[in-house]
Amino acid sequence: MPGWTKRLCVLWCLLGAQFASAQGGPPPPPTPLGPPPVPVENPLTEAKVQLGKVLFWEEQLSVTGTVACGTCHRPSAGGSDPRSAFVAAGSTHPGPDSVFGNADDIQGSAGVPVHSDDGQYSGHPQFGFNPQVGSRKSPPMLNAAYAPTLFWDGRAGGAFSDPLTGQLLIAQGGALENQAVAPLLNSVEMAPQGALVTDVAARIATARPLALATAIPQALLDWIAGRDYAALFAEAFGDPAISPARMALAMASYQRTLVTTQAPIDQFFAGQPGALTTLEQQGLQTFNALNCRGCHAGNRFTDDNFRYLGVRPVGEDLGRFEQTGNNPDRGAFRVPSLRNVAERAPYMHNGRFQTLAEVVDFYDRGGDFNA
């Protein structure tokens, strides 16, 4: 097959239809994607989901009042950050050499300027008084509920403990709860220098829900009904106490509703071959033949492992190794799901590739760097 034909088929496969069979003969197709797992310690309730939605879109979680979780994780962009698709100062990190305009630049997400908890800004060596940009691309929040660990390096694991007391609240399946806390304390993403988890809860306690938002769905407004956060927490948890743990439990509950289970590929898996176009089915066959399924497996199109692909030299970002200390994990990053991948440009952990065609070319040449 000519290289451009291979590229086109795989590209269309990535855009609309993926999956592969087990080696050794035609396998049964996977099942459509079902509901995500829910830890028994944090059962879904309508009130918790609604509270989590309010918190997810609450810009007042940041001292600057400019960044919410939804700022960098937008449903219309496949759950990632569309701002990263623009190679501009507002979305570019200079990379490990701290010099803009070089090959190691990273397309990330703009967060907050360097500031203190009283709102005083400080200059940054690279970003000045402008919002800092993260050193990795924002991963998608859509379908994050299925992953056993989260973040590119998997540092949000399944056991979730109360950030204040250390009490184990969720024994397993709590990656979303762990993930929800981290940005609130990250001085690049949302937080002031030296932020304490208690500060976030205290700030919310005195805030009017979504006071800075300009477009709130009517159903959510109806649920808020002019109440303060204490009343919203009371409905969700039985009493008005506002704590970092409860914030995480609520936001995780909301994120467990952010799943894409009705895609054409799900219809195809359910036995409707007409759900995919002829070209998409050709892409599926090419995807199988090239063993893309080796990493992008199952009905989520990921094996939830971490791999070094040669996107950049290992030493620039040690990735999973920083969490495990295992040498095979040096430079390894999470294998992302391919669901909604067409909406998530740019690609890779550093946003290096602007198009899916570039991604396929990268794989076709076997990567650019050695481990």
Element (H, E) at 223: helix 218-224
Domains delineated in the chain: 46-255 (1.10.760.10)
pLDDT score recorded for residue 251: 99
Distance of CA 321 to the CA centre of its chain: 20
Q: Are 338 and 302 in contact (CB under 8 A)?
A: yes
Q: Comparing C-alpha atoms, which of 66, 143, 146, 139 is closest to residue 108? A: 139
Amino acid found at 324: T
Per-residue model confidence as pLDDT tens digits over 246-276 = 999 999 999 999 999 999 999 999 999 999 9
Q: Comparing C-alpha atoms, which of 183, 178, 165 is closest to residue 241? A: 165
pLDDT score recorded for residue 18: 40
pLDDT tens track, the chain, 371 positions: 445 445 544 544 444 444 433 334 555 668 899 999 999 999 999 999 999 999 999 999 999 999 999 999 999 999 999 999 887 779 999 999 999 999 999 999 999 999 998 889 999 999 999 999 999 999 999 999 999 999 999 999 999 999 999 999 999 999 999 999 999 999 999 999 999 988 999 999 999 999 999 999 999 999 999 999 999 999 999 999 999 999 999 999 999 999 999 999 999 999 999 999 999 989 988 998 899 989 999 999 999 999 999 999 999 999 999 999 999 999 999 999 999 999 999 999 999 999 999 999 999 999 999 97
User: How far, in Å, CA of 236 to CA of 220, rounded?
Assistant: 14
Element (H, E) at 307: strand 306-307
Q: What is the pTM of this model?
A: 0.92
pLDDT score recorded for residue 30: 82
Q: 133-157: buried (b, 16+ CB within 10 Å) or exposed (e) per residue?
A: bbbbbbbbbbbbbbbebbbbbbbbb
